[in-house]
Structure 1
Amino acid sequence: MRSRTRVPHAAASVGTAPAGGSVERPWMDFRDLWSEALAGVLARPMRSALTTLGTVLGIATLVITIGISSTAGNQIVGRFDALTATSVTVGVPSVAAAGSGPLVDWSGVDAVRRLAGVESAAAIADSQETASVEVRANDVVAPGEVSGQTMAVVAASPTLPAAVRGGMTAGRFFDDGDIARRDRVAVLGDQAARLLGIGSVETAPAVFLKGQAYTVIGILGSVEREQQLATAMILPPTTAADRMGLGTVTRVLINTSLGAANQVARQAPIALAPGAEASLTVRAPADPAKARKGVQGDVNGLFLVLGLVSLVVGAIGIANVTLVTVIERIGEIGLRRALGASRRQVAGQFLVESTTIGLLGGVVGAALGMVVVVIVSAVREWTPVLDVRLALGAPVAGALVGLLAGLYPSLRASRMEPVDALRS
């Protein structure tokens, strides 16, 4: 309940003090304050629109950056889940105990494939000696002509294409028959084939390694795991053991269904080397939930700084225009003070004006930002990620920016003395 009676502004005057009392200032309630502030905003519509545009751009940039970063972060994490979170690699020591055979046999991959959650698995053998070997497209040495390329030579089980998430771009991969017969056949990575000038296997081209010919029966491409295989020459295990000394498995690649990686990582060493599982090293993916939070947090933090910078620029624009407005309305301020308006009422009027501009900018900026996020997501064929709290909080943030931006101009207006203002 108000303790003083509201008096219309037009009737406000310096007044005469009642006997034995002081002059009572008229009371301005929120409706009067709002109407006066709205009139001040609409008095110069073009200037108000341009001032609001600064907040619109700031809020829109904030919404766009956070929305796009959340959407992009979701895509990054989705790809992380599809590729990394389902990949398990088991490393095998190159030196076994004295008097014992290899820790992992080539047939051990079959035991891994029987584990629950395993989609594909393959064994690979490589060494430092075969990491850089000259492979030639022909055995004829012509002066001034380069027909050889240095590349890695590895041995692999027949299930390698599925394990590296690749596909045969030409020909086929070697099978159990090639391994049993110890055939001198090879599969080239797609980049290795290009380096050697081999684009097709229909004519059974041959490559030469240490003076011996190997028939190229396939080209492996689109490798997503172990991408170094794109520039490698891949041999059957028996052929590699006989001619290159690659008879010992050095690592096993395992692909799992989503969510089964950690379980498979615990069971795979036991399936590969029962009783010696502690000698194997396992690389399993991190917890997808933690990775999701980390990726999205990093992306959001980066773009949030950019949005806040834009918002600060908008706040500076509001403060600048509000200060100019105060200077232009010195006469009006002096008249209001002479008619009985208090310092608080004058400051409140300009604060409400700047807050109104910020609020309008926040509403328009939030709507514009969300539309841009949806459009960009549609163009990129992404699923837009929009936070309802951001959409509801953007207008509040705009109003807060307007309030903070109008503090100094409103305080400057409230400190003006009526006589000085009217004289000005």
Structure 2
Amino acid sequence: MPQVPPGRARRLRSTVRDRRTRRAGYTRLGIHDLVSEAVTGLIQRPARSVLTMLGTVLGVGVFVAVLALTTTVTHQIGKSFDLLQATTVTVTDTPTKAPKTALVPGEEPRTGFPSDTDARLARLNGVVDGGLWWTVPLRSPAIGTKPAGSTTAPDRRGGGIGLYAATPGALAAMQPTVRSGVLFNSFHQERGEQVCLLGSAAARLLGITRVDSRPAVFVENTAYTVVGIIAETQRLPESLLGVIIPAGTALTAYGPPNDRPAQAVVHVRLGAAPLIADQAPRALRPDQPQLLKAAAPPDPRSLRDQVSTDLSGLFLLLAAICLAVGALGIANTTLVAVLERTGEIGLRRALGARPSHIGVQFLTESTALGTLGGLIGTSLGVLSVIAIAVAKRWTAVIEPATVLPAPLIGGLVGLVAGCYPALRAARIEPLETLRR
């Protein structure tokens, strides 16, 4: 008996199978035919297909952008935290019922900080700069460029400007950027000189832009010569909307900070914050360390996790809404396509197409729409993250686990959205189309 080549044997078996299928009254739907029919159905109405994809494009794009931006912003916050917050320790005077005495040189107060706070903090290993500051309460809050009631020249008064007292060590710990002039120093502190610094916002309200003409600011009719204007500061940003005078001057003019306790701001080296927070109260008040309370910065990992959770939870909800809208758009468009192509579906059924063939075709169309929308949305999301990072001079951080599954999410949305229209199309009988 002659041997039949393997290739010819396969063709013979395929021919026999096709004949049996035709005798049974059914047709076969191959992968090539399925893809061809689905692509033809999509390109017949390109405008509607594009509009249908917009929901999925927006949803997947927002999904990718949110996760990538959250990672990027958290990274930036982490860097800022490590450089600034992790190097800041705050020591606060614990309120007590015992009255305080003035912080005059050579005299120790009964409670609160000693007069040589700056020097004691500087002796701690790990401290870069540190000193006292507090808010000075005013009876007449308005601060102006002329005495109250003066009519000799126009007076610019800044409502809401605060008055702060600070030692030279506190100024150094603030790490200010001086726009004009200089900072006051220990000479002004010890002699109680009537000089001041202006924050940038306060200077703008008072109309003072330069200090070479030695302008003055009047606080409760007391003139303070402006020696410098601070453009920005790393710590104590509230001082930008205020007038800062030496602590010695504030003690002489207004007394000790009874109503609002003083604080010590300490700039420490990276990694030294927990140690300084533990040592500072005992170094400042070895007799009564419980009078002072030091606050070290929180754990940076917990801050990053909290920021990531807050941002992700808020914007992922928006992404989910966009995906839901996209799914509804695909489902609606696919259902309309089923109704419009009822005649085509009936004709194919009459020629032997199975219900599963019809259902799979419409499922393929909706899945293709979702996948294509997912690809476009992923691309737009990545581009938007890169554009924002470039504009903000950040480092874009995009996790592969965020980008790679995004097109699959779009395809899954299209698949789920096309289930009902595909089921509806599969149930159409040839007789129904003839009646119409």
TM range (shorter): 0.7 to 0.9
Residue 281 of structure 1 is matched in structure 2 by 293
Kept after mapping to 2: 8 A contact 1:90/1:269: yes
CA–CA separation in structure 2 for the residues paired with 1:359 and 1:162: 57
Residue 308 of structure 2 is matched in structure 1 by 296
CA–CA separation in structure 2 for the residues paired with 1:83 and 1:179: 27
Question: Aligned in 2, Cα 1:205/1:61: closer, same or farther, shift over 3 Å?
Answer: closer
Kept after mapping to 2: 8 A contact 1:187/1:216: yes
Shift in Å at residue 133 of structure 1?
5.5
Kept after mapping to 2: 8 A contact 1:104/1:273: yes
- The answer to which of 382-391 and 74-83 deviates more is 74-83
Residue identity in the other structure for 1:37: A
Unaligned runs of 5+ in 1: 16-22
In the alignment, structure 1 residue 112 sits paired with structure 2 residue 124: no
Write the deviation string for residues 237-276 of structure 1: whole angstroms up to 9, x where unpaired.
3333333223887210112344443332222222222242
Residue 87 of structure 1 is matched in structure 2 by 88
Query: What RMSD in Å do the two structures reach over aligned CA positions?
Result: 3.6
CA–CA separation in structure 2 for the residues paired with 1:210 and 1:186: 14
Residue identity in the other structure for 1:201: V
Residue identity in the other structure for 2:378: A
Residue identity in the other structure for 1:327: L
Kept after mapping to 2: 8 A contact 1:125/1:246: no
Equivalence map 1:358-377=2 (5 Å): 358-377=370-389
SS for the counterpart of 1:115 is coil
Shift in Å at residue 316 of structure 1?
1.9
Residue 241 of structure 1 is matched in structure 2 by 251
Question: Aligned in 2, Cα 1:270/1:399: closer, same or farther, shift over 3 Å?
Answer: same
Question: Aligned in 2, Cα 1:282/1:38: closer, same or farther, shift over 3 Å?
Answer: same
Question: Aligned in 2, Cα 1:349/1:112: closer, same or farther, shift over 3 Å?
Answer: same
Equivalence map 1:308-319=2 (5 Å): 308-319=320-331
Shift in Å at residue 89 of structure 1?
1.4
Question: Aligned in 2, Cα 1:55/1:203: closer, same or farther, shift over 3 Å?
Answer: closer
CA–CA separation in structure 2 for the residues paired with 1:94 and 1:66: 45
Kept after mapping to 2: 8 A contact 1:366/1:391: yes
Shift in Å at residue 25 of structure 1?
5.1
Shift in Å at residue 44 of structure 1?
4.8
In the alignment, structure 1 residue 344 sits paired with structure 2 residue 356: yes
CA–CA separation in structure 2 for the residues paired with 1:263 and 1:61: 44
SS for the counterpart of 2:416 is helix
Question: Aligned in 2, Cα 1:160/1:317: closer, same or farther, shift over 3 Å?
Answer: same
In the alignment, structure 1 residue 62 sits paired with structure 2 residue 45: no
Write the deviation string for residues 313-350 of structure 1: whole angstroms up to 9, x where unpaired.
22222112211222232233233434444333322222
Kept after mapping to 2: 8 A contact 1:132/1:153: no
Shift in Å at residue 402 of structure 1?
0.8
Number of aligned residues: 412
Unaligned runs of 5+ in 2: 1-12, 100-107
SS for the counterpart of 1:351 is helix
Which of 116, 134, 142 is the matching residue for 2:150? 142
TM-score (norm 1): 0.81
Residue 427 of structure 2 is matched in structure 1 by 415
- The answer to which of 403-412 and 90-99 deviates more is 90-99
CA–CA separation in structure 2 for the residues paired with 1:71 and 1:28: 48
- The answer to which of 55-64 and 78-87 deviates more is 78-87
Residue 187 of structure 2 is matched in structure 1 by 177
Shift in Å at residue 411 of structure 1?
0.7
Kept after mapping to 1: 8 A contact 2:131/2:170: yes
Residue identity in the other structure for 1:305: L
CA–CA separation in structure 2 for the residues paired with 1:110 and 1:164: 17
TM-score (norm 2): 0.79
Shift in Å at residue 413 of structure 1?
1.2
SS for the counterpart of 2:256 is coil
Shift in Å at residue 412 of structure 1?
0.6
CA–CA separation in structure 1 for the residues paired with 2:58 and 2:217: 62
Kept after mapping to 2: 8 A contact 1:13/1:340: no
Equivalence map 1:197-236=2 (5 Å): 198-207=208-217, 213-236=223-246
Residue 123 of structure 1 is matched in structure 2 by 132
Write the deviation string for residues 364-389 of structure 1: whole angstroms up to 9, x where unpaired.
22123212321232233222222212
Residue identity in the other structure for 1:119: V
